[in-house]
Structure 1
Amino acid sequence: MATVKYERPEALLDVPFHYCPGCTHGITHRLIAECLDELLMTGQTIAVASVGCSVMAYDYFACDVVQAPHGRAPAVATGIRRARPDRFVFTYQGDGDLAAIGTAEIIHAATRGENITVFFINNAIYGMTGGQMAPTTLEGQVTQTTPWGRDPAVAGNPIKVCELLATLDGPAFIARVAVDHANQIRQVKATIKKALQCQLERRGFALVELLSTCPTNWKMSPAEAMRWVQEHMRQQYPVGVFVDHLSENRHIFQDRSAGDQPASGQPLPDAADLTAKAAVYTTKE
């Protein structure tokens, strides 16, 4: 009798994704959902979706999801987290959203050390609007608005978000991973979980940048898009951990709310207790 090895995470609704074939949004959604389940965070989580291909994330995650104006997800997440410190909050943003119109919001949320988690999808292009140049578009990369390739003399150089935010004192965890090969999935998941762990332990701001594909706007097959990430994006955006204060003796983030208790009147989740329960969850057969 066949057995199911990888069941759908409880944090992911049983509906089909709308994403294009070969797009890595679906993989990333699943990994986030698995981590929410394993950390027992799903029922206490509020997600903030960006404007872009992931705009309909509210159809996929089995938690409360708020839709933010373009680029403003960190500001919206900040307000939610301060008003409801008994909830975990993460944003899910693309490069056109976070690194263009949302540059001010992400930089100031990071420098304040807001206790939120940000998942930054970098596919080096505007996806939903038809394939225009994004702040992360590579030099020489052809897009709808750079038909002869991105020219730094005209459009500037690609923005390296992790390196930029790593210069600030506020972030607790900054890392970049690549969703470009099956053998990378466990590393990607471990990094996502660590970013959520930062918030669980009230360490402060955490961001994970995920190098991703956009086969449709890159005019490539899914396999070609994966190879392009490996051969080109990784050269411009090296994977690695840029800031990691999770295991250090660092000042614990204090929630910006009146008094020591959250607005709901419920006590803050105990990080040690949830972590212990999560360890039991992950060892279940």
Structure 2
Amino acid sequence: MENLSAKYGKTLNLDKLTSYCPGCGHGIVTRLVAEAIESLGIMSRTISIVGIGCGGFSHHYMDIDAIEATHGRSPSFAIGYKLARPDNIVFTYAGDGDTCAIGLGDLMHAANKGMPITTIMVNNTVFGMTGGQMSPTTLEGQVTTTTTKGRAVPHQGYPLLVPEMMRAMPGVKYLARESVATPKDVRKAKKSIRKAFECQVKGLGYAFVEVIVPCPTGLKMNVKDSYARCGNEMADYFKPQVFKDETEQSDVA
């Protein structure tokens, strides 16, 4: 068996037991973020800004510095940190509820500034930690604890497509949506997350990766069915793709 402690021990904190629910997609995304940091050799100067929710646990499993931001304000915290310590690598990690409900204004203004910051948004279409309530990305017809008859567009509006809102912003240099529904999807997500960090290392501008993941607990589904939903209904609406990739440009002086 591969010695994971020897290979990833510098970034992944393998001594901690996970608090993520069985089948939760956060565990996969946390691992991919840690691998990107490790492979780029930036651990000693990387800081995580986490939001409120299940994503707020991610830094418990990485041996890096972290700040726990107030609800929705991770992008603003990241801007302040980057201005104070421009040579360090700063990234935000939060779910769809934190990022694009109360935090949507902070997120859009951070993206529009074009500062070299990396954002990872983990989209499971519910407020997972607080009981499975509707989030801005809840799919039409999806039953949650606050949409017991399913999300109805005339009343709750359309599920939010966040990367599409950023596509025209000139300061956004890497923009992608990925999935963890299958091993092939995970490999694509790994590549995009690494590129989002490379974008910051090169000083190019803002980088954003949305990762669609299952939430078996919040959706009240078994693990197998929740991953099937992630690869079908979720991927049909939140289409995985790379919207913009300017990571091959030379460093900004």
| Same fold (TM > 0.5) | yes
- Indicate the residue corresponding to 1:55 in structure 2: 56
Matched, 1:212 2:213: yes
Corresponding residue SS for 2:20: coil
* Largest Rg, 1 or 2: 1
Deviation at 1:248, TM superposition (A): 4.1
Deviation at 1:84, TM superposition (A): 0.5
Matched, 1:86 2:101: no
Q: Aligned partners of 1:77 and 1:128: how far apart in 2?
A: 23
Corresponding residue SS for 2:126: coil
- Indicate the residue corresponding to 1:175 in structure 2: 176
- Indicate the residue corresponding to 2:112 in structure 1: 111
Contact 1:116 1:206 in 2 (8 A): yes
Q: Aligned partners of 1:135 and 1:165: how far apart in 2?
A: 16
Corresponding residue SS for 2:29: helix
Unaligned runs of 5+ in 1: 255-285
Which shows bigger deviation, 95-104 or 239-248?
239-248
Deviation at 1:6, TM superposition (A): 4.6
Matched, 1:12 2:8: no
TM-score, normalised to structure 1's length?
0.85
Unaligned runs of 5+ in 2: none
Q: Aligned partners of 1:222 and 1:99: how far apart in 2?
A: 25
- Indicate the residue corresponding to 1:231 in structure 2: 232
Could you give the per-residue CA deviations for residues 34-68 of structure 1, whole angstroms, max 9, x where no partner exists?
A: 11111001111010011001222332111100000
The structure with more strand, counted as a fraction of residues: 2
Corresponding residue SS for 2:234: helix
Query: Considering only aligned residues, what root-mean-square deviation do their CA atoms show, in Å?
Result: 1.3
- Indicate the residue corresponding to 2:189 in structure 1: 188
- Aligned-residue sequence identity (percent) comes to 39
Q: Aligned partners of 2:59 and 2:167: how far apart in 1?
A: 30
- Indicate the residue corresponding to 2:25 in structure 1: 24
- Indicate the residue corresponding to 1:147 in structure 2: 148
- Indicate the residue corresponding to 2:243 in structure 1: 242
- Indicate the residue corresponding to 2:124 in structure 1: 123
- Indicate the residue corresponding to 2:44 in structure 1: 43
- Indicate the residue corresponding to 1:203 in structure 2: 204
TM-score, normalised to structure 2's length?
0.95
Contact 1:57 1:65 in 2 (8 A): no
Q: How many matched pairs?
A: 250
Deviation at 1:173, TM superposition (A): 0.6
Could you give the per-residue CA deviations for residues 60-87 of structure 1, whole angstroms, max 9, x where no partner exists?
A: 1111000000100000000001100121
- Indicate the residue corresponding to 1:138 in structure 2: 139
* Structure 2 counterpart of 1:133, one-letter code: M
Deviation at 1:114, TM superposition (A): 1.5
Could you give the per-residue CA deviations for residues 183-236 of structure 1, whole angstroms, max 9, x where no partner exists?
A: 222211111100000000000100000001100011111110000011100011
* Structure 1 counterpart of 2:104, one-letter code: T
Corresponding residue SS for 1:172: strand
Q: Which structure 1 residue ranges, 4+ long, deviate > 6 Å from structure 2?
A: none
Corresponding residue SS for 1:121: strand
Q: Aligned partners of 1:185 and 1:152: how far apart in 2?
A: 31
Q: Aligned partners of 1:87 and 1:129: how far apart in 2?
A: 33
